[in-house]
Structure 1
């Protein structure tokens, strides 16, 4: 769901470049937000990769030369999320008199990204469970995801001079994404372990990508 990454990207832009939000954050929490250009590029990278995947799903035959010519439609879950986001925008529009309205809006964007990140992993978990196989999944991707999450945790702790729990509280959006990512990476690792014997029964050309 590239929509979630657009929300994360918008939040990063606001926190990195908007002086008003930085000032409001400092007034509310006593410190400046611990976000940098690296977070902005990370969010932009997520948007680019998911747009690339989207082009393969929707324009696979004409653009990429895939044999699959099925017509793709917007999934019901995506429709629900888009509807909720419109409601969220309308709700924030009518809260313009709030003292820290823009700060609140940017934080809620981060929460929206967390929610979408949680939802997007569930279909893959269910799909793996139903077919009892990890065919098409990559162990290297999970390992790199784990590594990236650990580096992100260390980055926030090094940059923030406050106690650990306070640092986490001040970076709920970033830590929320890290926690969701690590939870589902752990689930996928368990599925690799559980279903690896099933994958061995597949023909050689159908074995999982590692």
Structure 2
């Protein structure tokens, strides 16, 4: 009976709380604007800001420019200082003129108390050519597909041979660790609102570097690496195992990641910093993961068991990735995309160098595997 009485006493309070939350949600007005506007220089764009419902009083929306690629946004675009959303209106439009190539980021501020939490940002990107922009996007999708498909030839090769002899286990272990760390970084910055907001607070003029493609690619890579590991356990593997050198490196990496998580939980560092540390693990793995496989091929004088299809697709993806960076840098007059991020550019080139080494081993150096013939001794 006491439980029933407790429920009767608290039920009206719960209903009142629910009604209050619904009322707050219905009374608040949300504004919507495009995150990014891309247009050619010497052209115009019409931008619309819309509200979730008609406003009860006129709303003045001001544009607070927080970033300009050359320091003077008026030389890049012509932007009004403010626009007015009239009473009972649900949208307002304004015109922006592009003058020169560059980037401008502006934050939308309002005088309406219902919109004090407004944190909308619009990034205006003026480019040399919309055609080059489309070509760059197409190239991006092609190298994304090339990199994604590059995992399958090795899995098929293992299944066809029912053997993983020739596939270096150090490479497998390092690659799996690297993509787990990369997935953690991508998931945090793409799906967790708290971390996304933390990134914007720290980089008010920046754009989230992680897209849905990045999340899919990293999770897909983890899945295929796990399939490799299952094949390594199920198929013939000879005397291959993970070396002590790789075990020590993996132990250092995993210890570093666990300490980072502990510090983030203890609020000694932010979760965003923790994710950046995970990305450093991925970078370190990329620098060393190909070395064991290349050395193993050299020692065996053959590439049997190491799929060349994986190498060709990886080289295609890497070369197209660098081509896209060059096109974007020219089209946006932002050469910092290459020279301002030498780590990303350098790692792309580093991977391509190893792809060239693997192709040389497969097609030139070890094209004909060594043949072991019985030698008849003379009497």
Please indicate the TM-score interval, normalised by the length of the shorter structure.
0.7 to 0.9
The number of residue pairs the alignment matches comes to 192
Structure 2: segments with no counterpart, 5+ residues? 1-172, 373-379
Q: Which residue of 1 aligns with 2:247?
A: 79
Larger Rg: 2
Q: Matched residue of 1:109: which SS?
A: helix
- Could you say what the CA RMSD is over the residues aligned between the two structures, in angstroms? 3.3
Say yes or no: does 1:47 pair with 2:218.
Answer: no
Q: Is the 8 A contact 2:301 2:370 kept in 1?
A: no
State the TM-score, normalized to the length of structure 1.
0.73
Q: Greater share of strand residues, 1 or 2? A: 2
Offset of residue 7 of structure 1 = 0.8
Offset of residue 152 of structure 1 = 3.6
Q: Is the 8 A contact 1:134 1:192 kept in 2?
A: yes
Q: Which residue of 2 aligns with 1:186?
A: 356
Offset of residue 144 of structure 1 = 0.8
Distance in 1 (CA, whole Å) between partners of 2:184 and 2:238 is 33
Distance in 1 (CA, whole Å) between partners of 2:296 and 2:242 is 18
Offset of residue 48 of structure 1 = 1.1
Q: Which residue of 1 aligns with 2:200?
A: 26
Relative to 1, partners in 2 of residues 1:27 and 1:126: Cα closer, same or farther, differing over 3 Å? same
Relative to 1, partners in 2 of residues 1:191 and 1:75: Cα closer, same or farther, differing over 3 Å? same
Offset of residue 70 of structure 1 = 6.2
Distance in 2 (CA, whole Å) between partners of 1:151 and 1:69 is 35
Q: Is the 8 A contact 2:311 2:355 kept in 1?
A: yes
1:1-210 matched pairs, under 5 angstroms: 1=173, 2-29=176-203, 30-58=205-233, 60=234, 66=235, 68=236, 75-84=243-252, 85-91=254-260, 93-94=262-263, 96-98=267-269, 101-153=270-322, 158=328, 163-166=334-337, 169=340, 172=343, 175=345, 177-197=347-367, 199=368, 202=371
Offset of residue 140 of structure 1 = 2.6
Relative to 1, partners in 2 of residues 1:176 and 1:16: Cα closer, same or farther, differing over 3 Å? farther
Q: Is the 8 A contact 1:15 1:33 kept in 2?
A: yes
> Which has the bigger relative contact order, CA under 8 A and spacing at least 6?
1
Structure 1: segments with no counterpart, 5+ residues? 61-65, 204-210
Q: Is the 8 A contact 1:25 1:33 kept in 2?
A: yes
